[in-house]
Amino acid sequence: MSARAWLQFFRLHTASAEIGGFGIAAYLAGVRSFALIPILLFAIIVHATGFGENSLVDWLKGYDRTDPSKAHHPLNTGTIKTAMAKDAIITLHIVGVVLFIALIITYGAGANVSHLVIAIPSFALAIIAGNIYNFYSKVNKLLAPLEISLTFSLFTVAVYYGLGGNGGTVPDLLFLYAFFYVFFQIAQMGEAKELGQMNERNLLRRMGSYVDGDGIYHFSRANNVFMWALTAVKGAILISLALIVEGTGLAGAVTIFFIFAVLVSYGLLFMRVRTRSAALRIMGAG
């Protein structure tokens, strides 16, 4: 059993979303310098718990066992045994809860009852929504993006208020962006990655997208409209943040230009996706 197998099982190469989201939330709440390190550790643990559980559940339910593209995954190769995977997920759930409480005690000096009334239920609901996603996302495809987007957004809310954040337009926009960022990644890019699995519940297949006999991806017009609509929502949130933080001067204009350039480039790259490997690369770039 290798460290690489566990890294793959937990999909730690995609932990940047939690690290970035939780880190920004903590910074907005007033956490600075080296005090951010435990927050980033918490972000990694949350990611490993959720994605590790997803890997385990998908394997136990047979989805990953029959997917040729996942033949190299550690549960399929036997590098990681099922019992060990279960023990790891249970342990990480406990560690995550304990660490969240420790972070509030250590760094949440500004948090009072009104903060905790938001932080603790948000944390609990995030765990519930994440588990619903992991166990039922392959069956209820329509609700799956909503479940995982709520999970990520609610964890960000929990971190911010648990550390004593006092609210405001900027953190509210951060929570909203966290939701739509993950919604885009799952509803668009995640479904594109699984388009070839012939699951008729796949959202993109319902929109008319398909993979032909040669493994070439074909995205429907409805799919492209869906993708650009989500891109526009993300762009509107980011531009609003830029205007609040940077203002309407040169800094704001440059920031808005880069937001526009990155989002449009990403959308155009997606429209050129023709294989699963390309979909995975574009999803990672997101």
pLDDT confidence band for 1 (50 / 70 / 90): low
Residue 263 has pLDDT above 60, yes or no: yes
- Given this model, what pLDDT does residue 200 score? 79
- Given this model, what pLDDT does residue 65 score? 81
Average pLDDT on 155-162 reads 97
Average pLDDT on 29-55 reads 94
- Given this model, what pLDDT does residue 55 score? 93
Tell me which residue has tokens 């959720």.
50
- Given this model, what pLDDT does residue 159 score? 97
d(CA 81, CA 124): 29
User: Which one is predicted more confidently, 245 or 193?
Assistant: 245
Percentage of the chain beyond pLDDT 70 is 98
pLDDT confidence band for 101 (50 / 70 / 90): very high
What mean pLDDT value characterizes the chain? Answer: 91
- Given this model, what pLDDT does residue 201 score? 85
Do residues 270 and 217 touch, judged by C-beta distance below 8 A? no
pLDDT confidence band for 283 (50 / 70 / 90): low
Residue 185 has pLDDT above 60, yes or no: yes
- Given this model, what pLDDT does residue 284 score? 63
Q: Which phi and psi (to 5°) does residue 105 adopt?
A: -65, -40
Residue 125 has pLDDT above 80, yes or no: yes
- Quick one: tokens of 88? 């790891």
- Given this model, what pLDDT does residue 124 score? 97
Do residues 49 and 20 touch, judged by C-beta distance below 8 A? no
- Given this model, what pLDDT does residue 192 score? 87
196 Cβ contact list (under 8 Å, min separation 6): 211, 215, 217, 276
pTM of the model: 0.91
- Given this model, what pLDDT does residue 215 score? 83
Residue 286 has pLDDT above 60, yes or no: no
